């Protein structure tokens, strides 16, 4: 394990209290840690959704937002967004913008694995086409935001719990004025 594999551990107020190897924080007793989610939009206004690889520890095979990740200790989250876009999706993004800075959730998957994250939510524009890494993503789709929002409401069990929660707050996936990424 290298420092690049470490995640930032947080107290309940969101203050850094240490670091731990990423492999040690996603289990049945996951410590609160820092993460991020990103929703990528293309020039047509479609949002990229991904289906998690079956090899993923938590929520394998589930549809979710474009990508997620963990900033390394001392790494700016916007820099981590760019890094993970390249690592997970083989793509470049631009216009990275925090949309839900205070998003936080805790969820338990069917195997008992817990996600427990303070997880700011970002939006970004695609600057290249995705070429997903097969250990991370098994399938991708560009969809209209309204269709994604409808699908999440109709079949929440088919999506990651963080996407279901984000869809309730994220302007990109809510109806009405301001629902599109500018």
Q: What is the mean pLDDT of the chain?
A: 91
Q: What's the pTM?
A: 0.91
Q: Is 38 a catalytic residue?
A: no
Q: Are strands 121-126 and 93-100 parallel, antiparallel or unpaired?
A: antiparallel
List 38, 68, 88, 115, catalytic entry: 68
Tell me the pLDDT tens digit for each residue of 20-48. 888 777 777 888 999 999 999 999 999 99
> Is residue 117 annotated as part of the catalytic site, yes or no?
yes
Q: What contacts 22, CB < 8 A, 6 or more positions away?
A: 5, 6, 7, 70
Marked catalytic residue, from 88, 115, 117, 136: 117
């Amino acid at each position: 394990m290298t420092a690049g594999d470490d995640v930032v551990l947080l107290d309940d107020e969101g203050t850094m209290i240490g670091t731990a190897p990423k492999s040690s924080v996603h289990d049945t007793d996951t410590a609160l840690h820092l993460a991020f989610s990103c929703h990528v939009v293309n020039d047509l206004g479609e949002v990229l959704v991904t289906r998690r690889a079956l090899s993923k520890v938590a929520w394998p095979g589930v549809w979710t937002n474009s990508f997620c990740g963990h900033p390394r200790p001392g790494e700016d989250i916007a820099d981590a967004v760019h890094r993970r876009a390249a690592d997970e999706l083989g793509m470049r993004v631009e216009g990275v913008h925090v949309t839900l800075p205070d998003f936080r959730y805790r969820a338990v998957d069917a195997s008992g694995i817990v996600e427990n994250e303070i997880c700011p939510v970002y939006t970004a524009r695609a600057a290249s086409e995705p070429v997903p890494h097969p250990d991370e993503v098994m399938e991708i789709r560009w969809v209209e935001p309204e269709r994604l929002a409808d699908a999440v409401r109709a079949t929440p069990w088919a999506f990651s719990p963080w996407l279901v929660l984000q869809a309730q707050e994220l302007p990109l996936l809510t109806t009405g004025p301001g629902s599109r990424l500018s």
